[in-house]
């Protein structure tokens, strides 16, 4: 089993002819992901790496290739419309890698997506990977290995660190999801935890949060009420000064809310093992599994 992506996922890449799009499309393809189409307006009829057909629109790509997932590398000013174009074409999983999409655009997109059944991951995220089966995003594939630990995080870099610690201890991952660090994004930490909890192949969950917002507290409440699997967490930004954005646009303490301590306390009350430092994540996973 896996969450959201597997070996049958058929991926199209919006912005496949750009520098970042082409580089990461190639990396996903090399990993084994079925990259079936690319989309770049006015480039329809060309081929990427001599094998992947390029189309002018997502609708044309879906009709010709039965693509069911999209990875977006469109510039920020056009990325909101690219997300909606994918949803209109019937894409079920949209992974928006693009960073810097205007907040007003994302407010419009999130409202519009309420009319669709698709799942949006991102924007400003590393993507999603089911090790050994499908990689949609910019994460280094080699650090992952198939296993039973689900990972969800607001930070791409911290996701990679947690994954490497898990892999180094001889364990592996079921599915790893980077939800993104922007204040307005698609898939939330809680919803990702729901997916991982429902997956029988996921035996434990690692959730990495950070200061700002309330997603960690909401996930903690869900974990307290519903989750029976071991959960390990780490909250980044404990030493960040209030009122100053740290790294991600959503990582800011405002009005006394969104502090690391508040999140840690909520998670501990939910029975979550909270790692004191980033380096402790792997060890806490081992303890949670009784190893």
Q: Which residues are catalytic?
A: 248
Q: Are 249 and 124 in contact (CB under 8 A)?
A: yes
Helix pair 76-88, 58-65: axis angle to 10 deg: 40
Alpha-carbon 269 to chain mean position:
26
Candidates 54, 51, 60, 56; CA nearest to 29 is 51
CA 143 to chain centre: 16
């Amino acid at each position: 089993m896996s969450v959201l992506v597997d070996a049958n996922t058929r991926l199209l890449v919006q912005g496949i002819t750009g520098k970042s799009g082409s580089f990461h499309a190639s990396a996903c393809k090399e990993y084994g992901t079925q990259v079936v189409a690319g989309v770049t307006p006015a480039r329809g009829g060309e081929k990427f790496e001599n094998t992947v057909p390029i189309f002018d629109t997502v609708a044309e790509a879906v009709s010709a290739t039965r693509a069911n997932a999209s990875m977006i590398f469109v510039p920020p000013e056009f990325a909101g419309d690219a997300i909606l174009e994918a949803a209109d074409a019937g894409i079920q999983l949209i992974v928006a890698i693009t960073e810097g999409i205007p907040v007003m655009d994302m407010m419009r997109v999130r409202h519009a997506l309420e009319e669709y059944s698709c799942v949006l991951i991102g924007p400003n995220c590393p993507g999603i990977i089911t090790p050994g089966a499908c990689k949609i995003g910019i994460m280094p594939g080699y650090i992952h290995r198939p296993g039973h630990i689900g990972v969800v995080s607001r930070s791409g870099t911290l996701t990679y660190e947690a994954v490497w610690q898990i892999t180094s201890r001889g364990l592996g991952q079921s599915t790893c999801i980077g939800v993104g660090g922007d204040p307005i994004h698609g898939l939330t930490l809680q919803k990702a935890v729901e997916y991982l909890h429902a997956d029988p192949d996921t035996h434990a969950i690692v959730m990495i949060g950070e200061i700002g917002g309330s997603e960690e507290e909401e996930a903690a409440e869900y974990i307290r009420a519903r989750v029976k699997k071991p959960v390990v967490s780490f909250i980044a930004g404990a030493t960040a000064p209030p009122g100053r954005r740290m790294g991600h646009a959503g990582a800011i303490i405002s009005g006394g809310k969104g502090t690391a301590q508040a999140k840690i306390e909520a998670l501990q009350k939910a029975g979550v093992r909270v790692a004191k430092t980033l380096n402790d994540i792997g060890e806490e996973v081992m303890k949670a599994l009784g190893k």
